[in-house]
Structure 1
């Protein structure tokens, strides 16, 4: 607690109040302390003891896939937090297949678990209800839809991230800015809303032709960029829904004999570990993905221990990381 207090610039009693849900702490201070707690992966000893008393506790983590850097970061956040608490992680990858979801649910109901963390559950909210009916505590990470208000969930400030990315490109002098979005998830809608709002505040009317939907994969970035470059008046900058799409943008620019940022500026979203290793290093919006997994785990452990959460929904701040892929447009 002393370490958290020092990092957050508050007193130990203030940290104690935040951890125990007591009043008397300003909202901004409470948020700052919670952010430090999430970043340090701190788990209250009472939660760990409630789980592991007399036995080895375990928590199930369900993700879409494990060979994706986004999910890998969440897995690391969950794993590190559970390890500090002396608990085991049971990992399942469903690959968005309904039969895998059903099989996992049947195993959990039959054999039991201390709790479950679901990443991007969207259409499988029915499974969420089934888990709760069997008394399994659940926490969500980056939920795609409107999660139940009493279920712990952790996301990011996606609107602010989309706004910051677009505002950065506008500040460089770009006026034709395209956006490659993702599937119709809540996070996608919020990023697109931030993009459009930034354009409108700059006096620019968003153009439907400059918005391309798709998946959060490199292939979407590649195909959408090829379409954008064929427009009579192509964009001078592209904001992508995630860093994987940005990799596809790079490939399409290379095939067209162009490069970032000389011909087209590129800004991504997530700041996954590979973003700084691309050529040029990718300007992107940092989403604290690992911290999201860690905080969801902490919240779940507190629920399992019978503690009351101050808020079931937490959004961690995004931030713009400026590197080499964005620059003023050519005259």
Structure 2
């Protein structure tokens, strides 16, 4: 009988060539292993190869394997035993066959912004109600989101919480497919036009207003706005931000704004554009004294670029972003931000899904909760500097 390593070696390469190359490598590996479990090639109790062995087998980095195995563990398909290794869970086949005890979280990003807290709280609440958790990352792409939804329907998941892709806006038919299949849906952060489902929304206009008020109170009158891309959400941020500026008879100049391209929020790809935009904006004669950006991950990039340009925060310029109340990194703890409680949102999403599954709430219900927002002052928010110097070239 072949060992798990020998069996996977006979299947991995051919199957991987047939995989959809547009998907992330860790997702393709996770799907491949799931397929082998479902088809009986990796029966319950099988000891899986080590991360290093799998990395060699799939020609991947260990971090990629770790992501794939983490997804399988969250789905309840594998279990890790300290000091012994990772094994196919004894109930893996039943869980794959029914899928009914799995709750899915569909989000544009996995590791950035407020999404880590949303994932953690969703997983925590899922486990407390004896549900497994599945995470689908869409990269803010509606086609990838549509494919993920079809897979969730095929796997008969018990419920889906989704942060809808925004560029372009998520079409109603994608969400309607889930509801027609009898799968409850909770919309997170923003609504989907034409869909009646519980909404755990963010107060985008209020967030923009809070950021504007915070800067205005510090005396800032020339400000800049950075966004990963231009969406309906961005428009709401700007509406609140401009109202706060209008209260002191100020306007947001078009030449002081930057918007990334539509699609995925990929800070790595946007990095060069952010640097060029900062150089352009901050070398203007009447340069802004503060920057508001609609995403904490972008705020981190801006912070690093400003530091390389020789600017100190808040002595030379102020910076405020938007993110989660839990400041995960040391850098986030430095940056001022308008924050929301993503932990509370994740817990509430699971609660609503289970209420719909039990029949306590209908699947198509218009229950709406808007999460509160508050300002985290951090270390990058201060008064207007006395002398404005152009940044180093």
For Structure 1 versus Structure 2, the TM-score category normalised by the shorter chain is: 0.7 to 0.9
Superposed displacement of residue 70, structure 1 = 2.4
Question: What does 1:247-262 correspond to in 2, within 5 Å?
Answer: 247-262=300-315
Superposed displacement of residue 98, structure 1 = 5.5
Match of 1:66 in 2: 110
Deviates more, 1:98-107 or 1:191-200: 98-107
Q: Does 1:284 align with 2:337?
A: yes
Match of 2:291 in 1: 238
What SS class does the counterpart of residue 270 from structure 1 fall into? strand
Q: Taking structure 1 as reference, are residues 157 and 301 closer, same or farther at Cα in structure 2, changes over 3 Å only?
A: same
CA deviation vs aligned residue, 1:206-256 (integer Å, no higher than 9, x gap):
321222222655426444322211222110011111111111211221232
Question: What does 1:94-243 correspond to in 2, within 5 Å?
Answer: 94-97=138-141, 100-121=144-165, 122-143=169-190, 146-148=192-194, 150-214=196-260, 218=267, 219=271, 221-243=274-296
Question: What does 1:32-43 correspond to in 2, within 5 Å?
Answer: none
What SS class does the counterpart of residue 267 from structure 1 fall into? strand
Match of 1:7 in 2: none
What SS class does the counterpart of residue 123 from structure 1 fall into? coil
What root-mean-square deviation, in Å, do the aligned CA atoms of Structure 1 and Structure 2 show? 2.7
Ranges in structure 2 where 5+ consecutive residues have no aligned partner? 1-98, 387-393
Superposed displacement of residue 157, structure 1 = 1.6
> What is the CA–CA distance in structure 1 between the aligned matches of 2:142 and 2:233, rounded to whole Å?
22
**More relative contact order in 1 or in 2 (CA 8 Å, sep 6+)?**
1
Say how many residue pairs are matched: 278
Superposed displacement of residue 282, structure 1 = 1.1
4+ long deviations beyond 6 Å = none
Ranges in structure 1 where 5+ consecutive residues have no aligned partner? 1-54
Deviates more, 1:222-231 or 1:320-329: 222-231
> What is the CA–CA distance in structure 2 between the aligned matches of 1:174 and 1:258, rounded to whole Å?
17
> What is the CA–CA distance in structure 2 between the aligned matches of 1:147 and 1:304, rounded to whole Å?
23
Q: Taking structure 1 as reference, are residues 93 and 269 closer, same or farther at Cα in structure 2, changes over 3 Å only?
A: same
Match of 2:376 in 1: 321
> What is the CA–CA distance in structure 2 between the aligned matches of 1:63 and 1:205, rounded to whole Å?
34
> What is the CA–CA distance in structure 1 between the aligned matches of 2:351 and 2:231, rounded to whole Å?
25
Q: Taking structure 1 as reference, are residues 185 and 302 closer, same or farther at Cα in structure 2, changes over 3 Å only?
A: farther
Of 120, 126, 130, the match for 1:76: 120
Q: Is this contact kept in 2: 1:199–1:205, CA < 8 A?
A: yes
Deviates more, 1:298-307 or 1:64-73: 64-73
Superposed displacement of residue 293, structure 1 = 2.1
Match of 2:129 in 1: 85
Deviates more, 1:273-282 or 1:131-140: 273-282
> What is the CA–CA distance in structure 2 between the aligned matches of 1:100 and 1:163, rounded to whole Å?
33
Superposed displacement of residue 267, structure 1 = 0.8
What SS class does the counterpart of residue 141 from structure 1 fall into? strand
Q: Is this contact kept in 1: 2:171–2:193, CA < 8 A?
A: no
What SS class does the counterpart of residue 250 from structure 1 fall into? helix
Of 351, 354, 363, the match for 1:301: 354
Q: Taking structure 1 as reference, are residues 96 and 162 closer, same or farther at Cα in structure 2, changes over 3 Å only?
A: closer
> What is the CA–CA distance in structure 1 between the aligned matches of 2:146 and 2:266, rounded to whole Å?
25
Name the TM-score, length of structure 1 as normaliser. Answer: 0.75
What SS class does the counterpart of residue 316 from structure 2 fall into? coil
